[in-house]
Amino acid sequence: MRADDYLHVRGESRYVDDLPEPEGLLHGALFHSPVAHGRLLGLDTSRALAAPGVHGIFTASDIPGENQIGPIVRDEPLLADGEVHHVGQPIAFVVADTVARARAAAALVEARIEEQPGIFDPREAQAAGALIIPSRTIEIGEVDEAWSRCTTIVEGRVDSAGQEHLYLETQASMSEPLEGGRLRIHAGTQGPTAVQRAGSGVLGLPMSAIEVEVQRLGGAFGGKEDQATPWAIMCALATHALRRPVKYSLDRSEDMVVTGKRHPYSSDYRLGIDAAGKLLALEVTYFQNAGSAADLSPAILTRSLFHGTGCYHVPNARITAHSCRTNLTPFTAFRGFGAPQGIFVMESAMAHVAEASGMDRVDLQERNLLRDGDVLPFGMSMERAHAVRSFGEAKQRFDFEGARARVDEFNATNKLKKRGLSLMPACFGISFTNRILNQAGALVHIYTDGSVHVATGAVEMGQGVSEKLRAIACGTLGVPTELVTIASTRTTTVANTSATAASAGADLNGRATELACQELRDRLEGLEGGAALTWQELVSLGYSSRVNLSAQAHYATPKLWYDKELEQGRPFAYHVFGTALTEVEVDCLRGTYRIESVRIVHDAGKSLAPDVDRGQVEGALMQGIGWMTVEELCYSDQGQLLSKDLASYKIPDLNASPAEVETHFLEDCDNPEAVLHSKGIGEPPLLYGIGTYFAIREAARAFRAEKQWCYSAPLSPERLMMFLHGEVARVPVTVYG
């Protein structure tokens, strides 16, 4: 069976748009709200219904079940009913016999909307009491008392922007009718069960009547965890009514307008240290811009809270978080899932207090790194902490002192060009913060020819989970890779799955696969005379002995617990650590910069696939660099997305990439808490991109040491130019007007 990489290179990999089109296929198009907030007084679909090729137009009144798809808070209708709350909110779904006709008809739909003022700033929303959920606070130690023991205290504000997922494959789904009123949905989703569950509620059908299948995704990065659901359910709604297959693929600009992105945060901090440079007290408040509906914002906010102290031990800390409802598209999961926003605040506070106290920032970082036994603000004690080791190894392996001497010499001899260095430590907890999601199943068949078929709930989206599952099955059964097939993800094969997210896809589904394969191996090895046989002979003996050659296994991550009333617990199975050394050069006349190098020491446990993991580290790094530097969401003052195509939204290209990237995996870092002693890989390395921000800051301050720094990201060349030559002013994370 060909692996995904072979199919990708040959262009043979199938995505939703590549599936054979069933007979009678219809195509969908969306009519969405043109305004950010208002009362929906009426909808005229008569002209659209009369357009050529139109088979139906579906609005809230056509939903047979519940008009609701909110996964955590039930506050998100599939189709707007009575009110609209953001530009791009779905109002009507038009179905026609071609894509062009569906889009043309959607343009003929007319809505009467009484426009109302919108709120776009999270601080304004919080002040108005517009919250998604009640605010939360986690706390450790005696924060109020600790301030008196601090010799240096700083206060400030940090703003971090949103970020567009920009997956290669846009959102796409296709549904088809089955006999008996059942449906099959081919969904481009990270969460097949989430689509199945939402479809059941909207259509008023049992979940067993809805099959969801995912072959693979062309990228997701969190943007298809929850936000793939509405497009799949719209197709299913039309199929259910018309008994015809329906397909809907968003074009790029439409995808960017109607889907959510990484959450922008605005935050306040207060940080204090003693004379020896030890952190004593921290107080942080996050204002999360959640958009108009909850989506996954409560869970994302939880992870921000849990990562509020970054990679450091703070004995007295109070962290408060507000999830603020605004009139923008609901923001959603994105690689890091709220942790990067919290960690960026902590690193900003560290830079500020180092400068205020006259301490070397790297020394301050190093003496406060997490160690075994340190207790985090939510009560979890650190185990097998590799923060100190990875930081020290990065300094030694990449000759930090030599690099700093070269940078200092360069800066002393160059007036208009300056260089900067940063060390960025990473600490990231692995597990879904919602304990119930930390479970997975696997179904493994051994066929009589010796080949093996593995089915799990893991969705392959370019991260290499299929290769890791194949390696686990091969290693456990002792068979060559060519005998193992990894099935597409189907809710009919493995039910009640969690989304492939939280860097836990291989952890959960891999462990379930290992358990199922081990059960099969134990059965075969228990056969008399089996030890001397080849694999094929052993399988034949098992079949002739009427041994069950199929096994189903279930895995639930142990030791996890959390008490929301006390805000204490052990939400993570383990933590991932690492450190990145970044060097940049800034042209201080033009405000441009070049990333000279990023060198990383990363804790991958015992990697299941080193090449895959190295690719994940480097890909996440680039996404982190983009978030911190050039990627900027711009909105009008009416809440309309202005950066809605690749002409107006920039991501790092080859010229913006580091000239050198080096990744070294820590050795002897086995992890007993995960499958085959591995560690989750997808999200933690994004944190290394934050180091680029602080390296640029160091270079800029070498040119303008007298100016006060404003902790606002992305640090685009325009913003850097304003620091170097303009007035110091805070630029809103989301630009209006």
Active site residues: 683
Give the contacts of 457 (CB within 8 A, at least 6 positions apart): 192, 193, 440, 441, 489, 494, 497, 498, 500, 508, 509
Pairing of strands 489-490, 210-214: antiparallel
H runs (alpha helix) in 322-399: 339-357, 361-367, 387-397
Residue type, 76: E
Rounded-to-integer distance, Cα 622 and Cα 335, Å: 12
Task: Encode burial over 249-288: b for 16+ CB neighbours within 10 A, e otherwise.
Answer: bbeeebbbbbbbbbbbbbbbbbbbbeeebebbbbbbbbbb
Q: Dihedral sign, CA of 16, 20, 23, 26?
A: positive
Under DSSP, the state recorded for 666 is P
Cβ atoms of 349 and 539 closer than 8 Å: no
Task: Encode burial over 490-516: b for 16+ CB neighbours within 10 A, e otherwise.
Answer: bbebbeebbbbbbbbbbbbbbbbbbbb
Rounded-to-integer distance, Cα 459 and Cα 515, Å: 19
Under DSSP, the state recorded for 312 is B
Query: How many helices (H) and strands (E) are present in the chain, helices listed first?
Result: 19, 27
Query: 183 has which bridge partners?
Result: 177, 210
Give the contacts of 432 (CB within 8 A, at least 6 positions apart): 299, 438, 498, 501, 502, 504
Planar angle of CA 365, 371, 375, nearest 5 degrees: 105
Query: 595 has which bridge partners?
Result: 584
Cβ atoms of 125 and 317 closer than 8 Å: no
Cβ atoms of 299 and 584 closer than 8 Å: no
Cβ atoms of 69 and 229 closer than 8 Å: yes
Instruction: Give Cα 471 to chain centroid, integer Å.
Output: 25
Rounded-to-integer distance, Cα 686 and Cα 163, Å: 13
Cα–Cα distances (Å) from 365 to 286, 421, 581, 683, 735, in that order, read: 22, 14, 13, 22, 33
**Tokens representing residue 628 in the block:** 């911190």
**Tokens representing residue 685 in the block:** 């390395």
